[in-house]
Amino acid sequence: MAKAKNTNRLDVYKTFKLYIGGAFPRTESGRYITEETHKGAFVANICRASRKDFRDAVVAARSAHGGWAARTPFNRSQILHRMAEMLESRRHGFEHALRERAGYSKADAGAEVDAAIDRLLWYGGWADKFVQVFGATNPVASPHFNFTIPESTGVLATLAPKDAPLLGLVTSFAPLIVSGNTVVAIVDHDHRSIAIDFAEILHCSDLPAGVINILTGYRDEVLDHIGGHRDVDGIAVFDATAEERKSIGIEAADTVKRVHFYDTPKGGDWTADEAQSPYWILPFVEFKTAWHPMGY
């Protein structure tokens, strides 16, 4: 057993990189953003993701989509559950990070981690239920069996909330991946390192590579590239500005992308009940209706 000694030990800085395709590459651009704690102390030189990083992440998300969408809903549910377990067992690290880096109080940090864990569990439970709630068998007036099911839209970009470094990120992808979408999350706020800490949770939750990709950087820098990317099927936007609503909407029209601007809960309180809903799954599903004749 190690004995405590009174030494001035120098701690080891952690390098925070991007999370793309189940790996942690540095940004191809070689650029960085220096992140500081709320008190101005050095945290890390964080990767400043480029448009090329975004394109690489879309490639990863596209190649992951077929497999993720084809997983059984039960399996997707298990994997979200696993994320919740992983976060629970590492909760102190996140509470510490929220307090030290982002200036949370002890109680607020605990509340954000609690909510993030519970939200993952909650959406995980929807994976094998939302199809029943939002699908239908349709009583057509002819001898046909007719039913409607929701399916994932495909590859999505999500612009994560500008607050709540942990819970905001969870809130921005959980309702999207439940149905089988894959996601490239753009994280742009003062505590991006926490998103990359969370990538490590994803990395050990049996989540297939490429289902969630996390880029730290600036929204403005990649924004027009997202709307114009032909292999992005939809854009989920949190905490959108008026200009973003307009510019994203215009760019998205080139390929008739689905765009949804999620409401920020009152007071920016992402722990609120209104910040999670099965109806938050719906903007990024496609309803497929199938007909078949009935007879001998």
Residues that bind another protein (CB under 8 A): 133, 136, 138-142, 144, 146, 148, 233, 242-243, 245-250, 252-256, 258, 277-279, 282, 286-293
Closest distance between another protein and the C-beta of residue 188, in Å?
20
For CA atoms 208, 21, 255, 158, give the dihedral sign.
Answer: positive
Nearer to another protein, 23 or 140 (CB): 140
Structure tokens at 263: 């409401």
Nearer to another protein, 118 or 151 (CB): 151
Where b means 16+ CB within 10 Å and e means fewer, 49-58 reads bbbebbbbbb
Structure tokens at 149: 């099911």
Nearer to another protein, 10 or 70 (CB): 70
Given a contact cutoff of 8 angstroms between Cβ atoms, the answer to whether 21 and 215 are in contact is no
> Residue 292: which of 140, 152, 151, 150 has the closest Cα?
140
Closest distance between another protein and the C-beta of residue 184, in Å?
19
Q: Which amino acid is at 159?
A: L
Nearer to another protein, 113 or 235 (CB): 235
Closest distance between another protein and the C-beta of residue 256, in Å?
5
Closest distance between another protein and the C-beta of residue 140, in Å?
4
Q: In what order do the strands lie in the sheet with 258-262?
A: 212-216, 182-187, 155-159, 234-238, 258-262
SS3 per residue for 230-290: CCCCEEEEECCCHHHHHHHHHHHHHHCCEEEEECCCHHHCCCCHHHCCHHHCHHHEEEEEE
Closest distance between another protein and the C-beta of residue 225, in Å?
17
Nearer to another protein, 2 or 70 (CB): 70
Kindly report the number of other CB atoms within 10 A of residue 105's CB atom.
Answer: 10
> Residue 17: which of 208, 196, 205 has the closest Cα?
196
Closest distance between another protein and the C-beta of residue 263, in Å?
9
Given a contact cutoff of 8 angstroms between Cβ atoms, the answer to whether 128 and 71 are in contact is no
Closest distance between another protein and the C-beta of residue 211, in Å?
19
Nearer to another protein, 174 or 235 (CB): 235
Nearer to another protein, 133 or 204 (CB): 133
